[in-house]
Amino acid sequence: MFSKELLKGTLKTIVLHLLEEQGKMYGYEIARYVRERSEGQLELTEGALYPTLHKLEADGLVATEKVQVGHRTRKYYRLTALGTEAAGRKREEFALFTATMRMILTPKWNT
């Protein structure tokens, strides 16, 4: 498990990326998908996931759709144009960030 701080900074990036890749997803599906794809390394808690989803919706990055499934209602999320743009931006930013971190954390040999 990774620290809360690390996850907090990357959760939006993960959600936006998955929605762009998968089209539409619901909350539980996102959590399960992340767990499986990260081979159990990344566990999204409900307490982190749902506040983020609701925030993305309020900011207009995702749109929602309700579907009746069995005896309950399921809320699906998908990206808006604004969200697609944000997904790309977040991915680039994170790629640059990891590259930078590697530059800093790689041992430097004095020749």
Partner 1 sequence: MIALSEHQVYYIANRLDQAGIDYLPLREELLDHLCCMVEDHMVDGLSFSQATHEVFAAFGKDGMQKLQRQTILQLQNKSQLMKRLALLVLGLLLISFTMMWARQQDDPPSRRPLNGEHVVTSAFGQRMHPILKKHKMHFGVDFKAPLGTPVMATSDGEIVKAEFREKYGNMIVIRHDDTFETLYSQLSEIQVKVGQTIKKGEQIGLVGSSGMSTGPHLHYEVHKDGKAVNPEGFFGP
Which residues of this protein are in contact with partner 1, per CB under 8 A? 26-28, 32, 46-47, 50-52, 54-55, 58, 66, 69-75
Q: How far is Cα 100 from Cα 1, in angstroms, rounded to an integer?
A: 23
Q: How far is Cα 76 from Cα 79, in angstroms, rounded to an integer?
A: 10
32 versus 97: smaller Cβ distance to partner 1? 32
Find the shortest distance in angstroms from Cβ 47 to partner 1.
5
Sign, Cα dihedral of 38, 8, 50, 54: negative
59 versus 92: smaller Cβ distance to partner 1? 59
1 versus 104: smaller Cβ distance to partner 1? 1
Find the shortest distance in angstroms from Cβ 57 to partner 1.
9
How far lies 95's CA from each of 8, 66, 111, in Å? 17, 34, 29
